[in-house]
């Protein structure tokens, strides 16, 4: 290999193997090319990482070993590569990670371990990674993460542990003075989620969450996705003054009082689709102008009086599709919702002889509501763009 590169003249700074069948990182690679900064052996059949493989890789910055057949990360697996900033080990078959596997990697900022077979992580395995900013552990078999697993990773801003088998994950270890941009714990088996005040984005969909708590005062959360969980009431979500997006779709909520949105001082998008909503109420005593997008589709609503939303005059898009609505009572629709541009009401059970007043109100409204006949259920027809029977 060294002789094949010798004729190039100037030593290469990056090497990529394409459709090769190397089973390990060549021992003399970094001795032959001491200036090598990028090494790509993705999808090359690599099965093992020898302790001495990177002993001379003093200038390597990026290492890509995705799509190989590596089964284990032994102690000091990357010894010598002290300047490395990015390692991609995704799509291997790693089932064991030794406690000292990442020793010496104090400059590593990105670590990708997704799509492996890791079920257990030693509690101190990430301790040397003090510069780590992003780690991807999704699509493994993790059943537990230690309460201090990432305690020394004080620069961590992005964590993905989705699609594992976690039943418990204490996020208190991320409670710091500086922000964490994103944590994804979706597709696990969590029943409780405690959200540190400094987390900006949390994705916790497809769990079994029944309890949501906030850790600390003045939380910084902007985006919260709790879809596909076991929540029964919107009030189970604590107050987040900076929250802009709240996704509570496909939970077990049967009724909602829109006064609940007032505890989210900046909420613009609220998703309540796919719940069990049969009743809507509103105990607001004054208008709330922050909410812009409201999704109530795929619920059990049979009728709705638009007065229930009159205290939310700045709604731009309202989705009432795929319920069981037979009537929508409304008066002065244009005045009530002066900026609404989209009203979605398809997939309901409207009776043609009962929607005359609705048709009249929508005729002069800015909100687009009309659909084509292919959106109608069997036995329905179009009446002024509304499917009815």
Share of the chain above pLDDT 70, in %: 96
Q: Calculate the dihedral angle through the C-alpha atoms of 186, 187, 190, 191, rounding to the nearest 10 degrees.
A: 90
* Residue 177 is assigned to a structural domain of this protein: no
Average pLDDT, the chain: 93
Per the model's pLDDT, the better-predicted residue between 265 and 1 turns out to be 265
pLDDT tens-digit profile of 266-312? 999 999 999 999 999 999 999 999 999 999 999 999 999 999 999 99
Residues 35 and 124 in one domain: yes
Residues 121 and 24 in one domain: yes
Number of domains comprising the chain: 2
- 177, pLDDT greater than 90: no
Residues 150 and 62 in one domain: yes
Which range (14-18, 178-182, 241-245) has the least confidence? Answer: 14-18
Residues 236 and 374 in one domain: yes
Estimate to the nearest angstrom the gap between the alpha carbon of 267 and the chain centroid. 18
SS3 (DSSP) at 249: coil
Residues 147 and 236 in one domain: no
Domain boundary among the residues 111, 131, 156 is at 156
Enter the tokens of residue 143. 């059943």
d(CA 245, CA 201): 10
The confidence score (pLDDT) of residue 12 equals 65
Measure Cα distances from 267 to 186, 187, 241, 292 in Å.
22, 25, 8, 8
- 7, pLDDT greater than 50: no
Enter the tokens of residue 81. 């590569």
- 19, pLDDT greater than 70: no
Q: What angle do CA 157, 163, 167 make, to 5 degrees?
A: 90
Estimate to the nearest angstrom the gap between the alpha carbon of 146 and the chain centroid. 22
Domain boundary among the residues 156, 185, 207 is at 156
- Give, as one character, the DSSP assignment of residue 11: P
Residues 243 and 373 in one domain: yes
* Residue 162 is assigned to a structural domain of this protein: no
* pLDDT (average), residues 116-122: 97
SS3 (DSSP) at 352: helix
Enter the tokens of residue 94. 């790693």
Residues 265 and 358 in one domain: yes
Find the domain containing 126 and state its range: 10-156
Measure Cα distances from 345 to 84, 350, 363, 377, 384 in Å.
54, 9, 15, 13, 13
- 27, pLDDT greater than 50: yes
**Residue 15: band (very low, low, confident or very high) from pLDDT cuts 50, 70, 90:** confident
Number of Cβ within a 10 Å radius of residue 137: 23
pLDDT tens-digit profile of 180-237? 999 999 999 999 999 999 999 999 999 999 999 999 999 999 999 999 999 999 999 9
d(CA 181, CA 189): 23
R_g (Cα) of the chain, nearest Å: 27
Residues 24 and 150 in one domain: yes
d(CA 273, CA 278): 12
Enter the tokens of residue 335. 């005045």
| 173 touches 194 (CB < 8 A) | no
Domain boundary among the residues 134, 156, 178 is at 156
SS3 (DSSP) at 199: strand
**Residue 5: band (very low, low, confident or very high) from pLDDT cuts 50, 70, 90:** very low
Per the model's pLDDT, the better-predicted residue between 27 and 286 turns out to be 286
pLDDT tens-digit profile of 332-363? 999 999 999 999 999 999 999 889 889 999 98
* Residue 359 is assigned to a structural domain of this protein: yes
* Residue 67 is assigned to a structural domain of this protein: yes
CATH of the domain at 120: 3.80.10.10
- 319, pLDDT greater than 80: yes
Enter the tokens of residue 42. 């993705």
Does the pTM of the predicted model rise above 0.85? yes
d(CA 316, CA 223): 19
Sign of the C-alpha dihedral computed for residues 196, 201, 205 and 210 taken in this order: positive
The confidence score (pLDDT) of residue 2 equals 38
Number of Cβ within a 10 Å radius of residue 10: 6
- 20, pLDDT greater than 80: no
* Residue 368 is assigned to a structural domain of this protein: yes
Residues 237 and 352 in one domain: yes
Say how many residues make up the chain.
Answer: 389
**Residue 18: band (very low, low, confident or very high) from pLDDT cuts 50, 70, 90:** low
Enter the tokens of residue 228. 């596909």
* Residue 172 is assigned to a structural domain of this protein: no
* Residue 381 is assigned to a structural domain of this protein: yes
Residues 149 and 296 in one domain: no
d(CA 249, CA 234): 11
* Residue 84 is assigned to a structural domain of this protein: yes
Residues 111 and 235 in one domain: no
**Residue 11: band (very low, low, confident or very high) from pLDDT cuts 50, 70, 90:** low
Residues 14 and 133 in one domain: yes
Cβ contacts of 101-104, under 8 Å, gap ≥ 24 = 101/73, 101/74, 101/75, 101/76, 101/77, 101/125, 102/77, 102/78, 102/126, 102/128, 102/129, 103/75, 103/76, 103/79, 103/128, 104/76, 104/78, 104/79, 104/80, 104/128
């Amino acid at each position: 290999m060294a002789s094949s590169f010798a004729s190039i003249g100037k030593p290469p700074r990056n090497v990529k193997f394409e459709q090769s069948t190397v089973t390990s990182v060549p021992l003399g690679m970094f001795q032959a090319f001491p200036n090598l900064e990028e090494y790509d052996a993705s999808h090359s059949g690599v099965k093992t990482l020898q302790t001495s493989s990177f002993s001379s890789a003093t200038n390597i910055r990026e290492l890509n070993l995705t799509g190989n057949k590596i089964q284990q990360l032994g102690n000091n697996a990357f010894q010598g590569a002290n300047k490395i900033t990015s390692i991609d080990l995704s799509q291997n078959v790693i089932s064991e990670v030794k406690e000292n596997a990442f020793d010496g990697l104090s400059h590593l900022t990105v670590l990708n371990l997704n799509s492996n077979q890791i079920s257990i992580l030693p509690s101190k395995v990430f301790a040397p990674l003090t510069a780590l900013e992003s780690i991807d552990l999704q699509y493994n078999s993790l059943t537990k993460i230690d309460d201090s697993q990432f305690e020394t990773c004080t620069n961590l801003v992005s964590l993905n542990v989705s699609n594992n088998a976690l039943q418990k994950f204490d996020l208190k270890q991320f409670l710091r003075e500086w922000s964490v941009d994103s944590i994804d714990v979706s597709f696990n088996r969590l029943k409780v989620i405690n959200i540190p005040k400094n987390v900006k984005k949390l994705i916790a969909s497809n769990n079994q969450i029944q309890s949501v708590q906030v850790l600390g005062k003045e939380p910084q959360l902007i985006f919260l996705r709790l879809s596909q969980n076991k929540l029964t009431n919107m009030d189970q979500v604590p107050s987040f003054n900076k929250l802009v997006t709240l996704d509570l779709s496909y939970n077990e909520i049967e009724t909602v009082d829109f006064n609940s949105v007032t505890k989210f001082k900046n909420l613009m998008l609220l998703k309540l689709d796919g719940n069990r909503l049969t009743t809507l109420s509103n105990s607001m005593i004054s208008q709330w102008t922050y909410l812009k997008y409201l999704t109530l589709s795929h619920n059990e609503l049979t009728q709705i009086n638009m007065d229930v939303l009159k205290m939310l005059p700045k709604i731009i898009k309202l989705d009432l599709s795929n319920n069981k609505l037979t009537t929508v009572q409304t008066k002065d629709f244009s005045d009530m919702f002066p900026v609404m541009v989209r009203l979605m009401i398809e997939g309901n059970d409207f009776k043609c002889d009962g929607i005359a007043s609705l048709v009249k109100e929508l005729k002069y409204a800015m909100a687009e509501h009309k659909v084509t006949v292919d959106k109608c259920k069997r036995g329905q027809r179009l009446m002024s763009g509304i499917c009815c029977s």
